[in-house]
């Protein structure tokens, strides 16, 4: 079996993989996950329809990022139309969730647009003491679903949700975060990122748009702002699926363009140009590939303000950079889910290029990544599970 480990600490490599033996909190490539949620063991990938909280409902095609909430953890169980909440960080595989959000009971799974219910929630985040939910199927962002239940992009008085391209409308939002008093939303199907300079207390229009010339155009890669897809560039987006910010910098996962964009200064005006691109040699390219400098349909990003992790969906891996890059196409420093930067087959523990069953160090279309409670948590979507890795998380992502 071929094993390639890029060392960030002293490691021991064997047929079981590369494991960190250092004490500096740094992880290694092709590391085995330490904990598992959503399946009974590391070799199972069943998907059930939300029968119980104890089994995590046999998590069904989860997408998006896990999030720390108070002293615990919230996981998006997307196709079961719910969130799973832990009052404390799990310390053992198979730990049952304490609370199910979005369903009347642990056995229910149906989608709904009613207050307190969800339709394909892609991710959750924290804003102050409240949760924010990117409820993609209802094209809304729900603020504090357990309390005020404010729904951005959606008119609760209407019998049906309203998708639209406007300053107060959304289309399949993938991620919403609050940073430095601002609300940032990856409005995926509208090919843009919306920014509210203050967190809304009700439905209100966004103040700034990234990826478009204005708040009324939403075509992919619309360089000139005429409502038609054109050339790619540092100010265009194509189905952005995740965002991260520390209030000073902004990272956007530009999934349709197979890249991650970095703004070194937080955008304050429409169509601001990114400073750095990861996954492509320049701002004009959108090549899908597998290498230390390439991406194929990246789905999510996480950072502690120093390192960066990207869920590289179709390459069935997570890439890690130890430092924020200053140049385009900076090579990644480590890879999880694969033994090197070339292999990209799902569940390929032997690195033979042949898909097998899941193991503790393989992935199948990971669509989320987060730094939570001392763990790097990977949403391993097609394996219907969450993988928790020690040795990477130095802080908590927003």
Task: Give the pLDDT confidence of 199-210 residue by residue, as tens digits.
Answer: 987 778 999 999
Write out the two tokens for 176.
């919403």
Q: Phi first, then psi: give them for residue 290, nearest 5 degrees.
A: -125, 105
> What's the DSSP call for residue 171?
S
Write out the two tokens for 291.
């290498």
Return the minimum-mean-pLDDT range out of 11-25, 235-249, 292-306, 380-394.
11-25
Q: Who wins on pLDDT, 331 or 24? A: 331
CA distance 342 to 365: 16
Q: Is the pLDDT of residue 14 over 70?
A: no
Task: Give the pLDDT confidence of 322-332 residue by residue, as tens digits.
Answer: 999 999 999 99
Task: Give the pLDDT confidence of 336-345 residue by residue, as tens digits.
Answer: 999 999 999 9
> Over the Cα atoms of the chain, what is R_g?
20
Residue 1 makes CB contacts below 8 A (sequence gap 6+) with 15, 349, 350, 351
Q: Is the pLDDT of residue 2 over 80?
A: no
Residue 107 makes CB contacts below 8 A (sequence gap 6+) with 50, 51, 52
- Residues 7-18 have a mean pLDDT of 30
Q: Is the pLDDT of residue 3 over 60?
A: no
Torsional sign, CA 13, 17, 20, 26: positive
Q: Is the pLDDT of residue 374 over 80?
A: yes
* pLDDT band at 8; cut points 50, 70, 90: very low
CA distance 365 to 287: 18
Task: Give the pLDDT confidence of 29-83 residue by residue, as tens digits.
Answer: 899 999 999 888 999 998 764 455 445 445 889 999 999 998 899 999 999 999 9
**Structural domains of the chain ordered from first start:** 11-390 (2.120.10.30)
Within 10 angstroms of residue 51's Cβ, the number of other Cβ atoms is 15
Q: Is the pLDDT of residue 383 over 50?
A: yes
Q: Is the pLDDT of residue 131 over 60?
A: yes
**Residues 384/294, Cβ–Cβ less than 8 Å:** no
Return the minimum-mean-pLDDT range out of 94-108, 176-190, 239-253, 317-331.
94-108
* pLDDT band at 373; cut points 50, 70, 90: confident
Torsional sign, CA 269, 273, 278, 279: positive
pLDDT mean across residues, the chain: 87
**pLDDT value, residue 146:** 61
Residue 169 makes CB contacts below 8 A (sequence gap 6+) with 139, 153, 162, 163, 190
> What's the DSSP call for residue 347?
T
Q: Which region, left, alpha or beta, applies to residue 102 given φ > 0 means left and ψ of -120 to 50 means alpha?
A: left
The residues pairing with 107 across neighbouring beta strands, listed in sequence order, are: none
**pLDDT value, residue 161:** 63
CA distance 151 to 134: 10
**pLDDT value, residue 13:** 31
Query: CA separation (Å) from 75 to 81, 131, 149, 288?
Result: 11, 12, 19, 29
Share of the chain above pLDDT 70, in %: 86
> What's the DSSP call for residue 115?
T
**pLDDT value, residue 398:** 33
Task: Give the pLDDT confidence of 284-324 residue by residue, as tens digits.
Answer: 999 999 999 999 999 999 999 999 999 999 999 999 999 99
**DSSP secondary structure, 207-272, as one string:** SEEESSSSTT---TT-SSSSSS-----TT--SSEEEEEE-SS-EEEEEGGGTEEEEESS---STTP
**pLDDT value, residue 159:** 53
**pLDDT value, residue 116:** 87
* Residue 46 burial (C-beta neighbours within 10 Å; 0-12, 13-18, 19+): middle
Task: Give the pLDDT confidence of 217-270 residue by residue, as tens digits.
Answer: 999 999 998 988 888 999 999 999 999 999 999 999 999 999 999 999 999 999
Share of the chain above pLDDT 90, in %: 71
């Amino acid at each position: 079996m071929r094993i390639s480990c890029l060392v960030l600490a002293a490691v021991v490599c064997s047929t079981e993989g590369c494991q960190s033996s250092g004490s500096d909190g740094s992880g290694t490539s092709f590391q085995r996950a330490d904990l598992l949620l959503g399946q009974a063991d590391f070799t199972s990938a069943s998907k059930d329809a939300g029968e119980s909280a104890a089994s995590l409902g046999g998590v069904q095609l989860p997408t998006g990022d896990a999030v720390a909430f108070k002293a615990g953890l919230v996981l998006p169980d997307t196709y079961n139309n719910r969130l799973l909440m832990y009052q404390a960080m799990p310390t053992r595989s198979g730990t049952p969730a304490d609370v199910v959000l979005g369903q009347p009971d642990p056995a229910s799974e149906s989608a709904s647009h009613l207050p307190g219910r969800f339709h394909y929630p892609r991710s959750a985040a924290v804003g102050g003491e409240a949760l924010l939910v990117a409820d993609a199927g209802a094209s809304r962002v729900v603020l504090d679903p357990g309390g005020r239940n404010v729904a951005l992009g959606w008119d609760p008085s209407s019998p049906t949700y309203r998708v639209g391209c406007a300053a107060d409308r959304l289309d399949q939002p993938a991620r919403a975060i609050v940073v430095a008093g601002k609300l940032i939303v990856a409005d995926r199907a509208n090919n843009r990122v919306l920014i509210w300079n203050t967190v809304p207390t009700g439905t209100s229009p966004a103040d700034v748009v990234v990826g478009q010339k204005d708040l009324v155009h939403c075509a992919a890669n619309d360089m000139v702002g005429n409502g038609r897809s054109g050339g790619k560039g540092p100010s265009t987006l194509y189905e952005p699926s995740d965002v991260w910010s520390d209030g000073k910098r902004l990272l956007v996962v530009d999934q349709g363009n197979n890249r991650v964009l970095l703004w070194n200064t937080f955008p304050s005006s429409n169509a601001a140009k990114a400073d750095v691109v990861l996954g492509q040699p320049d701002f004009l390219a959108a090549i899908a590939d597998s290498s230390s400098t390439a991406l194929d349909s990246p789905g999510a990003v996480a950072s502690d303000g120093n390192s960066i992790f990207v869920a590289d969906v179709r390459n069935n891996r997570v890439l890690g950079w130890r430092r924020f890059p200053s140049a385009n196409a900076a090579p990644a420093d480590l890879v999880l889910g694969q033994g090197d930067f070339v292999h990209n087959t799902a569940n390929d523990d032997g690195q033979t290029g042949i898909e097998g069953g899941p193991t503790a160090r393989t992935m199948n279309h990971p669509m989320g990544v987060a730094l939570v409670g001392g763990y790097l948590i990977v949403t391993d979507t097609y394996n219907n599970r969450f993988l928790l890795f020690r040795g990477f998380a130095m802080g908590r992502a927003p």
